[in-house]
Chain A
Amino acid sequence: MDPRRYSRVIDPKVRQVGFCPRSGQVQNQSGPTGPSTSPPVSDISPSSNSLSPVMIPPPRHPSDAASRAVNVPAAATTPLRPRRPSFDDPNNNSSSTEQLVVSSYNPDESVLGTSPPFSGIGDDRDGDAESEFSDNSVNWIRQNDSGRFPLSLAPDGRFDSAAAKEKQSKKPQVGSRKERGGGQTAEVRNDLPSESKPLKEKTSKAARRALQEAQRAVKAAAKAAGGNKSKAASLSAHEQTDKAVKLPLQRKDDGPVTSSAAVSERRGGERPPEKDRKKDAPAPRMQFDDKNRVEKAKKRSVVKQTEARNRVELFRHLPQYEHGTQLPDLESKFFQLDPMHPSIYKVGLQYLAGDIRGGNARCVAMLQAFSEAIKDYSTPPEKTLTRDLTAKVNNFVSFLIECRPLSISMGNAIRFLKSRIAKLPITLSEAEAKSSLCSDIERFINEKIVIAEKVIVEHAVTKIQDGDVLLTYGSSAVVEMVILHAHKLGKQFRVVIVDSRPRFEGQALLRKLVKIGVSCTYTHINAVSYIMREVTRVFLGAASVFSNGTVYSRVGTACVAMVAHAFHVPVLVCCEAYKFHERVLLDSICSNELGDPDAISKVPGRMDINSLHDGTNKENLQHLNLMYDATPPDYISMIVTEYGMIPTTSVPVIVREYGREHLLI
């Protein structure tokens, strides 16, 4: 392997670790001015192949190991240690923070990793005082580099906590960027050797560029989830080169810091699992009581929804719109809407109108629309497919969100799609890439939904015996399949269908079951404790299962599960594993979806009630139409997934062991 390549990859890590002091030291040593420091840096650069005698790294990942091995010597050669005191010096701080970037990296790695003598220093870092971030970084360093040398630097004091925070906050947004960045670096790498050598002359130019880029990075960072991430990625790639040159200019703004965050993201590919997981932690959801963000989101939106005026205090953080106002408008735009692919547009409208309901149905419809959109996609000139397509997908997704908030299953599917796009080898031609994406999507639908359902049915059917009385709530696709299958197997059982206002989803299920001759009892949710006495099993569907075991499902599920629990009836939740999510949830308030309040206030066929509500008193009277609720894990006897039947406590295991697989299949 070419050592150089890896060195490039490594550089960003240096920054991330944030051992600014070291670079500062270097600087001090060689001389106060930025440029003068460059020589040591150049040492670090990949060109130095000589390994220091000290280090015998047992590398974990071949790639990392190689790269580090190369770099380490450089670090070792730099006389860093004595400098430590300088960190404390306020003057140094500013410069050191930004600069330390490149040079510091290897040393601290080594410090943290193995050296007992420095463990004291390391403790600082590890210490709780540090932000999560640094803690984490320590971890990954250890993992990768354990057994490196005892170089020491005492980094942490230096590390600017604000910077750390900033990095952290960005992380989630940048997440998707990382893989793409990998591709980028490959292109850029070539320049590196040349640059690093003739550093002196280049500084001025590099300085300028760095400044520019820093500014751009700041901008990019400001765009929260915007599709512009790709820019940042490319930026970061460039930045490395610049960093090699320590620029006094950079001190003025935080540009470098932010960009360094971006850079660090890029490395995701080689990152050890812990780090990865951390980064995968879902971005905080949009909170609709945050006025600024809502304003911004509105500017971007295609669907102009008018917000419902009379909202329930407790749910200000959730979006609530006037229903039915925007549909005609959108329909009229069908042929004008340029950026949106018609199939996406169609699906969006179907969500909006409520024609497609249910976690699986929505997810499949969305994926199929994506697949069609990808088929029709062609990369615009001067753009790369990965980046442009991701931006496109982001656009689609935000459009769909405007139509109706995403379900967890859709979120997972989108994550999958994006990771596939990002991982496309750049060698693929556009046609190949498109067809591979389409087949990926098809495979996801097939494996994660269709086959998974079949496996779940196989599992669940074993729990139905002759003479059972099954209770189900609403209409869940999987539960319906379970019942149909059990009936096909000739089992003798009865089904109780519990339904609720305002949607009456159970009626469709009732119709289907009666058609095939299953004996059914139909009732409404209030009577559930009346009917529960005769029930022997409860089968429920789920919109999602969170890693604390909470089952997130259509509103009313929790009531049914609770009553079943009170009557000592086992509750089985059937849920495909792709709907599992690593988030945790305690109540139904923080995360939910608000439906049309008019659905509550209007009772079909009841003139006496309907007439009550058109009068006055609008401001004190509200109607709340929740769509989901969270069932506490203690009510659930088992969750049936395609991986088997598990207790709720095992949900995090599935998420951990198989969650990654969704992205990889």
Chain B
Amino acid sequence: MPDMQGLVNELIDKLKKRRVKGSLETPLQTAELLRSVISVQKLPPTNKAAALINAVRDVGEKLIAANPVELSVGNVIRRVLHIIREEDLSPSSDEAGDNEEEITWLRDNTAPYVAEIIRPPLLHMLHTFSSAEEKSKSYIFGRSRKLKHDVIEAINMLIEDVNICYELIAEQAVEHIHHNETILTLGWSRTVLEFLLAAKDKKRSFHVFVAEGAPRCHGHALAQELVGRGLKTTVIADASVFAMISRVNMVIVGVHAVMANGGVIAPVGMDMVALAAQKFAVPVVVVAGIHKLRPLYPENPEVSLNDMRSPSELLELGKFSDCMDFGSVDGAPLVHVANPVFDYVPPELVSLVITDIGGHKPSYIYRLIADYYSSQDYVRYGRDALFKL
């Protein structure tokens, strides 16, 4: 399908050029793309789910390869795969042949115990029930159409989830922020912004220290938003974090991804903040939508899940051109500039992860992941486990 291919390539292109960024845009665009992929996919008379899964997987692998550090792409794809499996397995889709085939597929492809893990999460139970009614009505339509329809419904639901996760998280703010508190945050995060504003709307008055998050300094934008809503805000340099943390009650940060072990991939500098917070026994609260849960355990995350940006953000190349020219020793240039984007914060430094379905200890994240992903989509071995589905 040429037009489909065009859409896929367009998103791949955007991801490669980092034009789509952020934990809101990326999952939404990915989910929408997958939705259209599914809707145009022609299904064979038998083994429809497998065909869908293969189609999604094909597209997914390309998307992931386009920007492997944009973890939410992989997360959404796995969620979609999981949805397909769920819909296919759900009792309402009573096409015996399909079911049988699916089960044999399972038996072939995964260890037997995995089947137990596949369990529909509550949210999806609800959804399945509602769609079950529809299904009974639309029984007369072709089965294939029904599966596709259900999957698309579920993907819409997923998109909805991503869109409203900020609200759901923000609703919990009042349980965590009290009067007269001092809160430290780093860089820009929409989740944090909404979280703080929700507490502010409940008439809690508190003070926010914003570490600017050099070199991108997005903290200034966050501070501006907070001040616009009447919160007392102080912008500090990242270097002053240690000095100020002793006067802070809570560190609330947004992250890039939450790993299966409860560790988080966060904007660079977060490890330093979390260490300082630990030194002064200040709780570190991570707010993250459920789509940021990453169903993988980190392996050397500082390197494998990191992105390096241009040195010009740190050194003005014009000024330092003389240094850059200073040539090299044994072929290696003398000056290296490290400008990573992310930090990995190990789970022992994180006190709490607040998602749209409530707060959890980092040690519980692995269980949440089992609710939202199918293990055959992420239990992989070998070198290219990261990029494959």
CB–CB B237/A524 < 8 A? no
Which of B243, B306, B332 is the most central at the interface, judged by chain A CB atoms within 10 Å of its CB?
Answer: B243
Q: Which residues of A contact B215 (CB under 8 A)?
A: 501, 524, 526
CB–CB B237/A555 < 8 A? yes
CB–CB B236/A620 < 8 A? no
Q: Which residues of A contact B235 (CB under 8 A)?
A: 600-601, 621-624
Q: Which of B16-24, B79-87, B158-166, B217-225 contacts A (4 or more CB under 8 A)?
A: B217-225
CB–CB B232/A620 < 8 A? yes
Which of A518, A519, A620 is the most central at the interface, judged by chain B CB atoms within 10 Å of its CB?
Answer: A620
Which residue from B246, B319, B338 sits with its C-beta under 8 Å from A523? B338
Q: Which residues of A contact B98 (CB under 8 A)?
A: none
CB–CB B237/A501 < 8 A? yes
In chain B, residues 337-367, which have Cβ atoms closer than 8 Å to a Cβ of chain A? 337-340, 343
Which residue from B220, B231, B276 sits with its C-beta under 8 Å from A601? B220
CB–CB A621/B236 < 8 A? no
CB–CB A589/B220 < 8 A? no
Q: Which residues of A contact B209 (CB under 8 A)?
A: 624
Residue A132 is within 8 A (CB to CB) of chain B in the complex: no
Residue B136 is within 8 A (CB to CB) of chain A in the complex: no
Q: Which residues of B contact A540 (CB under 8 A)?
A: none
Closest CB of chain B to A317's CB: distance in Å? Answer: 14
Q: Which residues of A contact B322 (CB under 8 A)?
A: 511
Which residue from A518, A620, A625 sits with its C-beta under 8 Å from B233? A620
Residue A502 is within 8 A (CB to CB) of chain B in the complex: yes
Closest CB of chain A to B90's CB: distance in Å? Answer: 45
Distance in angstroms between the alpha carbons of A636 and B246 in the assembled complex: 19
CB–CB A526/B272 < 8 A? yes
Interface residues on B, range: 35 or more
Which of B237, B240, B242, B320 is the most central at the interface, judged by chain A CB atoms within 10 Å of its CB?
Answer: B242
Q: Would A529 and B237 be within 8 Å (CB), given that A522-B338, A621-B224 are in contact? A: no
Distance in angstroms between the alpha carbons of A556 and B242 in the assembled complex: 7
CB–CB A612/B221 < 8 A? yes
Which residue of chain B lies nearest to A522 when distances are taken between CB atoms in the complex? B337
Distance in angstroms between the alpha carbons of A68 and B334 in the assembled complex: 72
In chain B, residues 229-261, which have Cβ atoms closer than 8 Å to a Cβ of chain A? 230-244, 246-247
Closest CB of chain A to B35's CB: distance in Å? Answer: 34
Q: Which residues of A contact B241 (CB under 8 A)?
A: 559
In chain B, residues 149-170, which have Cβ atoms closer than 8 Å to a Cβ of chain A? none
Q: Which of A20-28, A602-610, A645-653 contacts B (4 or more CB under 8 A)?
A: A602-610
Which residue from B230, B268, B314 sits with its C-beta under 8 Å from A522? B314
CB–CB A558/B335 < 8 A? no
Q: Which residues of A contact B337 (CB under 8 A)?
A: 521-523
CB–CB A629/B269 < 8 A? no
Closest CB of chain B to A633's CB: distance in Å? Answer: 13
Which residue from B233, B242, B335 sits with its C-beta under 8 Å from A559? B242
Q: Which residues of A contact B311 (CB under 8 A)?
A: 522
Beyond the given pairs A526-B268, A624-B237, 6 more chain A to chain B contacts, judged by CB atoms under 8 angstroms and listed by A's residue number, are: A501-B214, A517-B334, A526-B215, A527-B340, A527-B343, A620-B233
Chain B residues near A (Cβ < 8 Å)? 207, 209, 212-215, 217, 220-221, 223-224, 227-228, 230-244, 246-247, 268-269, 271-272, 275-276, 279, 302, 306, 311, 314-316, 319-320, 322-323, 326, 329, 332, 334-340, 343
Contact sample, A vs B, 15 pairs, CB 8 Å cutoff: A314-B247, A500-B239, A507-B319, A522-B337, A523-B339, A556-B238, A556-B242, A562-B272, A587-B246, A592-B243, A600-B235, A605-B316, A606-B217, A617-B228, A629-B243
